[in-house]
Chains A and B, each alone.
Chain A
Amino acid sequence: KNQVEQSPQSLIILEGKNCTLQCNYTVSPFSNLRWYKQDTGRGPVSLTIMTFSENTKSNGRYTATLDADTKQSSLHITASQLSDSASYICVVSASGGGADGLTFGKGTHLIIQP
């Protein structure tokens, strides 16, 4: 069964600090992995997408890594801001799976404190 596990479930850090969120998956055959940011009560917004051949991808202060061998991904947030407070969801796609080939993680709830 395809699964996506995220850790930690929740995280509180001070504004300006860095943090790293983890995503482990057992999705096969692997197509791509996305990180989404979801503000409370809003729809998810895509941060990065990574395919099998990509190791690192950056989007501003967000940097995602992918290790396809160990089936792990991380999302590193640099110099956190209050607006980074949100849930971060890892979504892994299986090849040829279509819409029901997406497996969502439960998310990491990040709180940035002033």
Chain B
Amino acid sequence: DTEVTQTPKHLVMGMTNKKSLKCEQHMGHRAMYWYKQKAKKPPELMFVYSYEKLSINESVPSRFSPECPNSSLLNLHLHALQPEDSALYLCASSLGTGGSFYGYTFGSGTRLTVV
């Protein structure tokens, strides 16, 4: 298995809803990442998990809450989002913690729309 699987592919939620994005990989990668990508913009790093521990939080608002239950799973819990949070949310993984060296495998993303 050489893929990063993200679910759901599309999500529409209201500003008072609570939802979660899920990311899964079975490549034995020990680093996992969440990125946010707006249309026609490059991905922006949100969180990095290294060996199931949060190692980087790029000053992301608390309405986004990451969780790494085990080395294969990464969740992003969403609560009280704003319409400007609508974007493509990408999960990625890499073999080692030096992601820039090992290279990333990206998931297909979750297209999130906040109404």
* Interface, chain A (partner B; CB < 8 A): 31-32, 34, 36, 41-46, 49, 87, 89, 93-102, 104-107, 109
Contacts and interface: CB of A to CB of B under 8 A. Distances in A.
B101 A93 contact: yes
Interface in B29-49: 31, 33, 40-43, 45, 48
Contacts of B100: 31-32, 93-95, 97-99, 101-102
A31 B97 CA distance: 15
A87 B48 CA distance: 25
11 contacts: A32-B100, A32-B103, A44-B90, A45-B106, A93-B101, A95-B101, A100-B48, A101-B100, A102-B100, A104-B42, A107-B40
Interface of B: 4, 6, 31, 33, 40-43, 45, 48, 56, 58, 88, 90-92, 94, 97-101, 103-109, 111
B9 to A, nearest CB: 9
Contacts, number: 70
Contacts of A42: 108-109
A101 B31 CA distance: 14
B74 to A, nearest CB: 13
Contacts of B109: 41-43
A105 B92 CA distance: 17
Contact of B41 (A32, A44, A45, A106): A106
Nearest to B97: A98
